[in-house]
Amino acid sequence: MDARLAPVIERADAAFGEAVRQVGEFVDYAAVSYGGAEGAHAGRVRELAAAVVRHLGNLPAAQRPSRCLLHELPDALPLVTAEWDAGGALPTLLVYGHGDVQPANAEEWHSPPFEAVVRRDDSGSERLYGRGTSDDIGGWYSHVAAIRAWLASRGRLPLNVRLMIEFEEEIGSPNLMRYVDHLGDFVEVDAMVLTDCENPSVDVPGLTVSLRGLAEADLVCRTGHGDGHSGLFGGVWSDPSLALVRIANRLLDADGRAAFARQELGRDERRALASVDPELDFDPAAALPDRGRAKAEWVWRQPAITITGTSLPDVASENNESKPTNSVRGEARLRLSIRVPPGATADAVLDEVEAIVADSPPPGIQVSLERRHAGDGGAWRYDVPDCIAFEAANRAYATVWGTPPLRVGVGGSIPFVQQFAARFGATTPLILNGVLDPASALHAPNESLHLGVFRKAIHTNIHLLDEFGKLARGRFMDPPSG
């Protein structure tokens, strides 16, 4: 640990319990953004946004932001910004996080999802349980805690810091770029730290460099007639339901993986992904064969396909009046959710899928692919620039964690990352970090924040402020010093 920063770290540790309690208080708001500005919980989301502004505005004078504002655009949930000014000649860092959360079914939780509680997990580690603890209230508050510790110890930050907290991330950030336009030069910064990403383990940090995109389409099989009783027509009429199963199977290889849009990676990249494998928490009994590819490659850099819905009747109990009838259906469809690998586009992947399913349809069956959603046009891949900003980030992580961060991927899409990358990625370093670990259970029952990771995140952010403060304004994309 850098001796210069020891007093700052000590202040952070002294206030650590307060930081954990504050994350818990924000969790208690149950700020579920599902439904958007008119959703059932929109009032609670707005209450949390106002509470964040109050909290920041009521900090001790030495720690208080110079400006803290609640922004509201028509037909949107709010956004909060705060600024800590250190001096015009110093560089500026933007920290992004989100305060909204996913819904939670209390019956599936060990404790009420919107009442944050600390308890030990099976490994004996302390965790703060509650919806939003790690995704993403703990993420952005780890930066607030670092800022507070720095100011309480030094009285002044080593660079200007701007904080942006969104409240629509869990519904796809539909108005994020509207807010960016509304904020004007607020987003003219030297670097951005985007929270909400995962570390490979509680002992190994990670910076996210790739996301798979998302495409959605309906595979439809139909005939020219309506439904008919299978006792009268079965074996004579073509059955769209059975055709649907046969055609969907064309999209899979012998292991059940997507047989399309495979990406060919370079030797160095495959070696790097293989090195991450020991840190990935997969149940060996449930994992598909590797087939010469690392698990990290399969989940981060290759396509995947899931059926998320069907028009076929549910298998019902005998007492259920909607019990399926014995019919040859006139039409059947599957909703396909496809993870688009970095390097491909959603449209290109759907073109490939369409060619596969439309080839040689079964007799009497009309096959079509109805496209529903193609994300932001494809998957995102951030080729981490060889620049001094990432060199500085590596030093900060190595100082606290004892090892530089692994460059990792995320198996799913995160719309705000794609939006920031499209808007700023060519000119501004994007540092994607977070407080998640493989056991955090984001979006699932019993979501939690590992308190050891939370403490290390605060310490790392203190070092990030120090490292970035040493860099010259406007020079963060310069080549590394070597």
The per-residue pLDDT for 75 is: 97
Centroid of chain to Cα 197: 6
- Both tokens of 193, joined, read 């730290």
Q: pLDDT category, 482, cuts 50, 70, 90?
A: low
Nearest Cα to 47, choosing from 19, 23, 80, 94?
80
CB 129 within 8 A of CB 448: yes
What residues have CB less than 8 Å from 440, skipping those under 6 apart? 134, 135, 198, 447, 448, 449, 450
CB neighbourhood size of 214 (10 A): 20
Q: How many CB atoms lie within 10 A of CB 482?
A: 4
Give buried/exposed letters for 68-99 (b at 16+ CB in 10 A, else e). beeeeeeebbbbbbbbbebeeebbbbbbbbbb
pLDDT of residue 93: 98
φ, ψ at 188 (rounded to 5°):
-85, 95
Band of residue 41 on the pLDDT scale cut at 50, 70, 90: very high
Please give the average per-residue pLDDT across 48-72, as a whole number.
98
| Cα–Cα distance, 101 to 103 (Å, whole number) | 7
Q: Is 456 left (phi over 0), alpha (psi -120 to 50) or beta?
A: alpha
- Six-digit token string for 121: 């997990």
Q: How confident is the model at residue 187 (pLDDT cuts 50, 70, 90)?
A: very high
81's tokens: 């910004």
Two structure tokens written together for 419: 């939006």
410 bridge partner residues: 211
Helix (H, G, I), strand (E, B) or coil at 280: coil
CA distance 338 to 321: 34
d(CA 181, CA 183) in angstroms, rounded, equals 5
Query: What is the structure's pLDDT at 412?
Result: 84
Minimal CA–CA distance to 398: which of 205, 257, 218, 265?
Answer: 205
Which of 25-39, 67-81, 359-373 is least confident?
359-373
Number of Cβ atoms within 10 Å of the Cβ of 61: 6
User: Distance (Å, rounded) from C-alpha 218 to C-alpha 205?
Assistant: 39
pLDDT tens digit sequence for 216-227: 999 999 998 888
Beta-carbon count within 10 A of 124 CB: 6
What does the pLDDT look like over 123-173, one tens digit per residue?
999 999 999 999 999 999 999 999 999 999 999 999 999 999 999 999 999
Mean pLDDT of the chain, nearest integer: 92
Structure tokens at 138: 């703990």
Question: Could you tell me the end-to-end alpha-carbon distance of the chain, in angstroms, rounded to an integer?
Answer: 22
Tell me: pLDDT of 210 over 60: yes
Name the nearest CA neighbour of 413 among 421, 425, 404, 402.
421
For residues 438 and 260, the model is more confident at 260
**How confident is the model over 63-113, as pLDDT tens digits?**
999 999 999 999 999 999 999 999 989 999 999 999 999 999 999 999 999
Average pLDDT of the residues in 239-249: 94
| Residue 14, pLDDT above cutoff 70 | yes
User: Which of 457, 460, 445, 393 lies closest to 129 in space, CA to CA?
Assistant: 445
Two tokens, residue 218 = 């309906």
* The two structure tokens encoding residue 285: 């009994």
